[in-house]
């Protein structure tokens, strides 16, 4: 009935099994979001996403102490959006309430997500792959990664991947996410589970994201070729 195929329905038990087969991966994925009910379950959340929050604080502290690295006429905001797991509510509300201001200021958002692997994935899309991130933004972040000598790759968001950069890209603002997370190994090992504790974190991924971000910030989010043209 669901498939609109009478032959499939007439196959009886086997037919229903075939209909259930595509749903099974979704059920398995949903289990990663169900880790007890009392007080929201027991998920320390060291990698997802205290690692990113800590890096935002670290970068903020560094730039406050070293303001010379902030380009002229540049305002930097460090934001930790709430309710990301509940439909990106924090970032969506922020975009809704500040949209006119964000467009007027020509904002670029560099979002951190789950920093637990040395190779950084720069997402070319978001919201389950339904929204494309700005090509100019991607080029500027890739240029920063190359200048900093950080292992990286560009990759689209797969089904189940949605980040706080999504609402920004959705309204045409420049945005992308740095995702330093090994799939599926680290997802199976501790993602949304009680094992997501500080012990799963290592220093290299954290330093890599800081280096990349520092290069991106101090060059004003510009691409390498743009910097060359300006210097000449």
Given a cut of 90, whether residue 223 has pLDDT beyond it is no
pLDDT of residue 9: 57
pLDDT of residue 221: 74
Over the chain, what is the mean pLDDT?
Answer: 86
122-155, pLDDT tens digit by residue?
999 999 999 999 999 999 999 999 999 999 999 9
What is the DSSP secondary structure assignment for residue 52, as one 8-state letter?
Answer: H
Which helix (H) or strand (E) covers residue 179, if one does?
strand 174-179
pLDDT of residue 61: 96
pLDDT of residue 14: 58
Mean pLDDT, residues 7-33: 64
Instruction: Report how far apart, in Å, the C-alpha atoms of 194 and of each of 46, 107, 188, 206 are.
Output: 10, 37, 12, 21
71-115, pLDDT tens digit by residue?
999 999 999 999 898 889 999 999 999 999 999 998 999 999 999
Provide the β-strand partners of residue 131: 126
Given a cut of 90, whether residue 227 has pLDDT beyond it is no
pLDDT of residue 150: 97
Ranges of each domain in the chain:
1-31, 38-231
pLDDT of residue 217: 95
The answer to which of 46-60, 103-117, 136-150, 182-196 has the lowest mean pLDDT is 182-196
Given a cut of 90, whether residue 47 has pLDDT beyond it is yes
Nearest partner of 190 among 44, 77, 38, 2, judged by Cα: 44
Provide the β-strand partners of residue 58: none
Given a cut of 90, whether residue 160 has pLDDT beyond it is no
**Letter string b/e over residues 67-84, b meaning 16 or more CB atoms within 10 A of that residue's CB:** eeeeeeeeeeeeeebeeb
Residue 117 banded pLDDT, cuts 50, 70, 90: very high
Q: Specify the pairing of strand 120-123 against strand 174-179.
A: antiparallel
pLDDT of residue 85: 85
pLDDT of residue 226: 46
First to last CA, the chain: 67
Which CATH code fits 38-231? Answer: 3.40.630.10
């Amino acid at each position: 009935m669901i498939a609109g195929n009478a032959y499939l329905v007439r196959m009886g038990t086997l037919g229903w099994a075939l209909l259930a087969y595509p749903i099974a991966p979704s059920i398995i994925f949903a289990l990663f979001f169900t880790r007890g009910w009392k007080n929201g379950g027991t998920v320390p959340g060291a990698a997802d996403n205290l690692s990113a929050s800590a890096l935002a604080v670290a970068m903020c502290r560094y730039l406050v102490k070293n303001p010379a690295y902030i380009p002229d006429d540049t305002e930097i905001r460090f934001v930790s959006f709430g309710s990301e797991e509940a439909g990106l509510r924090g970032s969506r509300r922020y975009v809704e309430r500040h949209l006119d201001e964000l467009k007027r200021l020509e904002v670029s958002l560099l979002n951190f997500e789950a920093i637990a692997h040395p190779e950084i994935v720069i997402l070319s899309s978001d919201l389950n792959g339904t929204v494309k991130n700005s090509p100019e933004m991607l080029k500027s972040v890739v240029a920063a990664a190359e200048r900093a000598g950080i292992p990286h790759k560009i990759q689209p968001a797969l089904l189940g991947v949605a980040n706080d950069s999504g609402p920004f890209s959705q309204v045409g603002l420049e945005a992308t996410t740095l995702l330093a997370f090994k799939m599926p190994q680290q997802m199976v090992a501790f993602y949304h589970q009680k094992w997501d504790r500080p012990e799963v974190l290592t220093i290299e991924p954290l330093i890599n994201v800081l280096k990349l971000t520092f290069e991106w910030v101090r060059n004003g989010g510009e691409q390498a070729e743009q910097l060359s043209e300006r210097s000449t």
